[in-house]
Amino acid sequence: MQLLRGAALLLLLCATACWAQEDCVCTKNKRVTNCVKMGDTCQCESIGSGVTVECDTLSSKCLLMKAEMTGTKAGRREKPKEAFEDTDGLYDPDCENNGMFKARQCNGTSCWCVNTAGVRRTDKHDTNLKCNELVRTRWIIIEMKHGERKAPLSTGSLKKAFMETITSRYMLDGRYIGDIVYENPCITINLKQNSSDKSPGDVDIANVAYYFEKDVKGDSLFHNDRLNISIDNEMLRFEKIVVYYVDEVAPEFSMKSLTPGVIAVIVVVILAIVAGIVVLVCTRRRKGKYVKAEVKEMNEMHRGLNA
């Protein structure tokens, strides 16, 4: 009898666990597996790292990038129909157990130092490189363009819509949202969060920016929940987004790491300066010759008159 009761209890526990797994959906991170409902929250394992994530808040950017790289390798990555592959800035990161980026990242042959957003802040070196600390990103600037329209948007309505979206969808405390600037068709959002300001339970601005960038590019990390921003009853359509990072400590790049475009601009400026100097020297020489010739002619005229 006791054996039957034990078997029945075991079956009940298994059924409860199975139901919990089927009913538990990580709404704020679709790149997870082995989800289990624990009380009122859903806990899952992040793909690629196995780190447990809480589904009632945003996951760390490091774990998200690792999961995306794992999904890309395994062919499991979910893609929108209109999407094409864009791997700029994407690499397979090394994450701490708490989901933060390790200060040093490597790809097997070279290593570099990153900030808390996982963005490279040094030149690439060999594997002997040492990164003493993970430098915090204190300011993130998000620049984007909305689709073409006949008239500009209402600046007040736009600011209100973005404030509500960032605080509700991405769970960022409003005190970390700086200026929201609108110059038709460009929108600039400033997120600022110093290490001294951030409380332990606060969402990191690096995670917010990554989720937001993915939303704008049509590759939302939320489960079946695309970004919809409506301003004055009109759905906003985005065309382009660029994210800039400002760290608490200045990055350490050498001239070698400058992009060809920047180098080209520097070369053009130098050539223009050299050309200006050459023209100035030539002009002065010609002027000097003209003055000398004029003096010579005047002397000859004086000698003629005296004769």
Q: Which two tokens stand for residue 102?
A: 């390790």
95: which DSSP letter?
Answer: B
Radius of gyration of the chain (CA): 31
Q: What is the pLDDT of residue 117?
A: 93
Q: Which two tokens stand for residue 194?
A: 């110093």
Q: What is the pLDDT of residue 224?
A: 85
Q: What is the pLDDT along the chain (307 residues), one digit of tens a residue?
A: 554 455 555 444 444 444 444 468 999 999 998 999 999 899 999 999 999 999 999 999 999 999 988 865 544 444 333 322 233 378 999 999 999 999 999 988 899 999 999 999 899 999 999 999 999 999 999 999 999 888 999 999 999 999 999 999 999 999 999 999 999 999 999 999 998 889 989 999 999 999 999 999 999 999 988 999 999 888 999 988 999 999 999 888 886 655 555 556 566 667 778 777 877 766 666 655 555 555 556 666 556 656 5
Whole-angstrom Cα distance, residue 296 to residue 3?
128
Q: How many CB atoms lie within 10 A of CB 222?
A: 18
With contact defined as beta carbons under 8 Å apart, do 246 and 229 qualify? no
With contact defined as beta carbons under 8 Å apart, do 174 and 138 qualify? no
Whether the upstream peptide bond of residue 185 has omega within 30° of 0, thus cis, is yes
